[in-house]
Structures are given as structure tokens and as C-alpha cells.
Amino acid sequence: MTAAAEQLGYSPVATLSGSAPALVESIRSAITARSWQEAFPAFLRANGEAAFDYAAEDEWFAEQD
């Protein structure tokens, strides 16, 4: 990003710390009354039902020891 700023005059429109709370709130609001699958169908199509397979994730981490 330094090169983009120096060569192109780029400056970010927001910082991560400044924009993350609003993003998290929008996600939380989207799934309050419906499942994440209904709220984010494009994410579901791209990643499938196993996107949040925490059991598989836990198993993978256990195998890394």
C-alpha cells in the first residue's frame, strides 16, 4: 500500500479499526432473524455448508500437535 500511496496518491477511505465495528454489526443484524445461509447466499454458494465446520477445524488443529 505504501507504493500505491507514493506512486498513485492512494489513501484508504477507512481504517480496519474504524470500519470493523460497523461491519460486525451489519453481519450480526443480518443473521439475527435468519440463518447465515439465508443471509449470505453468495458466501454459501462459494464455500458450501462446511464453511463453518468447527468440528473439522478442531480436528485439524489437534492433528498439528
Rounded Cα–Cα distance for residues 44 and 41 (Å): 5
**Residue 38: what pLDDT?**
95
Domain count, the chain: 1
**Residue 50: what pLDDT?**
86
**Residue 42: what pLDDT?**
97
Under the banding of pLDDT at 50, 70 and 90, the label for residue 65 is: confident
**Residue 33: what pLDDT?**
92
Contact 38, 44 (CB under 8 A): no
The size of the chain, in residues, is 65
Domain that holds residue 31: 2-63
Reported as a single tens digit per residue, the pLDDT across 11-59 is 999 999 999 999 999 999 999 999 999 999 999 999 998 888 889 899 9
